Amino acid sequence: MPNKKEAIGYLPDERPPIWKLLLYAVQQFVVMFPATITVALLTGFHVSTTIFASGLATIFFIIVTKGKLPLYYGSSFSYIAAIVGLMSAPHMEGLGLNEKISIAQFGIVMSGLVSIAAGFIVNRFGKDQISKILPSTITGPIAMVIGLTLAGNALGDASAIPATETSVTLATNMAWIVSLVTLLSTILFSVYLKGFLSQLPLLLGPLVGCLTAFIISKITGVDLFRALDAPSSSLIALPTFTLPKPTLAAVAAIMPIAIATIPESTAHVYQLDVYVNNLAQRKGSRKKYDIASQLGNNLIGDGIADMVSGFVGGPAGTNYGENISAMAITRVFSVPVLIVAAIFAMIISCFTPLINTIYSIPLAVIGGLEIYLFGAIAAQGIAIMMEHKADMFSSKNIAVIATVMIIGIGGHYQFGGSIPFFGISVPSVAGAAIFGIALNLLLSIGKKKGVAADAAVVDPQVDSED
């Protein structure tokens, strides 16, 4: 009996019975939902369009990878700083929201080319070629820069109040209470909850924050909930679709960020390889699911998904670790389940009452989440270097890490995210990435292969991690 129980689960090419398939698909949607809509709220993108784009991009990803990779595509936090910085730039003042989104879209579409190029390089020359250009001593600090440059946004939103509030001091104090409750509850849920609920801290934490805001409004009269200027009264409404507007500024600001998502996306492939083959072995399947060999196709699919999402008006994204965790817990790696989840997302995006409810979430709740999430992005940069055993006593590595960090963070706080350089404005994150890549290649001249291997993007040991 124990063996039979262990063998329960669905492999990528297996389809559960219809009623189970629908329930599993709802679960995958719920796991993806909080992070994806949070990106929309933080960047100012349309929530309904963002949800629709995640579903559409997932379907394209599955088609491109021929259904061999059970991964769900969602909006990435790595791009938030670049998108927010671009849309709030001085030259964007006076433009409407849709015009700003259209300009950002072009950068998002072009960012897909980075992942696609990386995928072709991996397929043609092997993963070691990518690690020479993008070692963890570059991708790690870039991730840290992305998180740390958003620190001001997090605290600003955590203390934000509606313009209609007359008692500013009281309202600000209440906003801090709501943001702190959201932050602490989200952390406690992520640390102490078990099983399925452990995958929902980004949903449960904000719910507690919203409940706190509601109680405060009844006791003090301070209403932190937001209202749409012109809320739709209809039950069904199509998402707002916009077309990309070619702009070099968007390319410079957003396109380089794609390099920071490559290590994360790569790690997900190796995780899946371990999980899926472990389930196949327990089920007694003779089929070998060589998912690790799909690394290049995964990057190509990720890039095409970015282009699809950007073309319809959604943020840039990546395959979601949350969904992989949900699959690992439930042992449901069925690609048909993800297809249904993607279709479900596209349908839900047209459900107006849900979208209006999401828009009403207090900024203080979002700010509480941001403190945790943006810090986590920075922490992931450290994890990338630790995972790939970057030699922190190497003078070359220290030089690359130090310059990337200071250019990226210093450029953001001193120059507002755009560094003036010989008559042009260089986005701080992009400038840091470009300088880091050039410096790393320069310092690698004359080095033996073994010496440069201390900071590879894809460490061979990742393949054996659970």
CB 53 within 8 A of CB 308: yes
Q: What is the pLDDT along the chain (466 residues), one digit of tens a residue?
A: 444 445 578 889 889 889 889 888 887 887 787 778 888 888 889 989 999 999 999 999 999 999 999 999 988 877 887 888 888 888 888 889 999 999 999 999 999 999 999 899 888 887 667 777 778 888 888 878 878 888 888 899 899 998 887 788 999 999 999 999 999 998 998 888 876 676 568 778 889 999 999 999 999 989 998 876 555 667 788 888 999 999 988 898 888 888 777 767 777 787 788 888 888 888 887 788 888 788 899 999 999 999 999 999 999 998 887 788 778 877 889 999 999 999 999 998 998 887 777 778 898 998 898 888 788 878 878 887 887 788 999 999 999 999 999 999 999 889 877 788 888 777 787 788 889 989 999 998 877 654 444 444 444 333 333 3
Query: In the prediction, which pLDDT does 431 show?
Result: 83
- 74: helix, coil or strand? strand
Would you state the torsion angle of the CA atoms of residues 404, 408, 413, 415, taken in this order, to the nearest 10 degrees? 110
Q: What would the two tokens of residue 339 be?
A: 């297809």
Query: In the prediction, which pLDDT does 231 show?
Result: 59
Beta strand pairing call for 418-421 and 73-75: unpaired
Query: In the prediction, which pLDDT does 216 show?
Result: 95
**Domain of residue 10, residue span:** 2-464
One-letter amino acid of 304: I
Would you state the torsion angle of the CA atoms of residues 452, 456, 460, 462, taken in this order, to the nearest 10 degrees? 150
Query: In the prediction, which pLDDT does 7 show?
Result: 59
Distance, CA of 62 to CA of 308 (rounded, Å) = 13
Q: pTM for the complete prediction?
A: 0.70
Alpha carbon of 84 to those of 49, 147, 203: distances in Å? 17, 13, 23
Contacts of 330 (CB under 8 A, 6+ apart): 9, 24, 27, 196
Residue labelled with tokens 């379907």: 59
CB 142 within 8 A of CB 404: yes
Segment holding 42, helix H or strand E: helix 18-43
CB 262 within 8 A of CB 119: no
Q: Which residues pair with 10 in a beta bridge?
A: 332
Residues in the chain: 466
Rg (CA), the chain: 22
Count of structural domains within the chain: 1
Query: In the prediction, which pLDDT does 451 show?
Result: 45
Query: In the prediction, which pLDDT does 456 show?
Result: 41
Angle between helices 47-64 and 352-359 (to 10 degrees): 110
